[in-house]
Structure 1
Amino acid sequence: MTEELVVLLSPDGQAIGTAPKASVHHAQTPLHLAFSAYVFNERGELLLTQRAHDKATFPSVWTNSACGHPGPGERLGDAVRRRVATELGLAVTDLRVVLPRFAYRAELDGVVEWELCPVLVGRVDGDPSPHPAEVADVGWVDWAQFADEVLEGRREVSVWCGEQVAELVRLGSDPEAWPTADPAELPPALPRD
């Protein structure tokens, strides 16, 4: 199995190198490229995931549908489809970027996440088959109720998910109507179509 690499970034989103994923998350985590995906079913429900209990970063934390890191030269959509298939056994359709410039820094138990992390939405059919090394639990939720609970502090989620929800609700109440972002706004480290 090949070592998974993450793309290291300058503050303006230019690729400046790579590092093994297994070694990049620590107290001095460098800025790197990532993504967050929010996938919905045919009923318009959002798939939430609980990170596996033995994950190196943010174990057991509930968060959005899938997160990951595009590999060097990997297109964003391909990275999202790869991770959703690996973590959840699902195929994503209608994938589009809605928050191209999202960035965050978060720390838990001395481990830091520091990422330029475009946010995408997509659709899935069927129920997930979570990979136990990645996902401890899953659940389908109504978007409006979920967003209200997160914003009012009644539902605990990952730092990045909480910040993303705050930005997503500003796009409107209906995820299907959220505007698709201009690809030119994505970090320059990502390959262009």
Structure 2
Amino acid sequence: MQQQLLLVDENDTIIGYGDKLSVHEKGLLHRAFSIFVFNMKRELLLQKRAEAKYHSGGLWTNTCCSHPLKGEDLELTLHRKLKEEMGFDCAVSFKYKFIYKAAFDNGLTEHELDYVYVGEYDGLVEPNPEEAEDFKWISLEELVLDVNLNPRNYTEWFKEIVPNLSTLINC
């Protein structure tokens, strides 16, 4: 059985479930999460999505992003995905949530109610090549400049969050 994403309304009430591909083909609103991990130097850990991902392959984005699943505790999902994608785990705290919608050239649409989490970590990073083909630590100043100069190098949801990054790190 395929993993079931949580379909929600604009008030974040669960209204059903759907398999990942179908949800993205139909552009249905569903829950997602984005984790932003900073080091002690206040640099953000970015991942470059694996080229083979179902959308946004080869683009830079936040440390970890995925979907909560039907029947799985959100806290467990956050830590499981962080470990699966980037090879480490750390404490994370919820900051805010927002809705965005983005259509892709391959016919898929992200329509997500995205929960934003922040963590701190200074250890070894070992990304799963099926998830992330590269990673880097970057200062917020350098990141904001590059996103403004090269927006096509970054995922759509990440560009929605970038203007709020300085408030996230100061929380």
Same fold (TM over 0.5): yes
Aligned equivalent of 2:78 = 80
1:166-187, Cα deviation, whole Å (9 max, x unpaired): 1334x27xx1x22xxxxxxxxx
CA contact (8 A) 2:3 2:70 kept: no
Aligned equivalent of 1:191 = none
1:154 is displaced (CA, Å) by 4.1
User: Secondary structure, in 3 states, of the residue corresponding to 1:59?
Assistant: coil
1:100-132, Cα deviation, whole Å (9 max, x unpaired): x21111122121100000111002232221111
Identify which of 104, 107, 113 aligns with 2:103: 107
Number of residue pairs matched by the alignment: 169
1:65-93, Cα deviation, whole Å (9 max, x unpaired): 11011112434332221111001111112
Aligned equivalent of 1:53 = 51
1:103 partner letter:
I
1:41-77, Cα deviation, whole Å (9 max, x unpaired): 2332211011111111211111111101111243433
Instruction: Write the distance in 2 (CA, Å) between the matches of 1:115 and 1:8.
Output: 9
Instruction: Write the distance in 1 (CA, Å) between the matches of 2:116 and 2:84.
Output: 18
1:161 matched to 2:167: no
Instruction: Write the distance in 1 (CA, Å) between the matches of 2:19 and 2:108.
Output: 16
Instruction: Write the distance in 2 (CA, Å) between the matches of 1:138 and 1:108.
Output: 23
Structure 1, unaligned runs of 5 or more: 179-193
Aligned equivalent of 1:4 = 3
Instruction: Write the distance in 2 (CA, Å) between the matches of 1:9 and 1:127.
Output: 36
User: Secondary structure, in 3 states, of the residue corresponding to 1:118?
Assistant: strand
1:20 is displaced (CA, Å) by 1.6
Aligned equivalent of 2:131 = 134
Please give the residue correspondences for 1:25-64 in structure 2 after superposition, counting only pairs within 5 Å. 25-26=24-25, 28-64=26-62
CA contact (8 A) 1:90 1:125 kept: no
1:11 is displaced (CA, Å) by 2.2
Identity %: 34
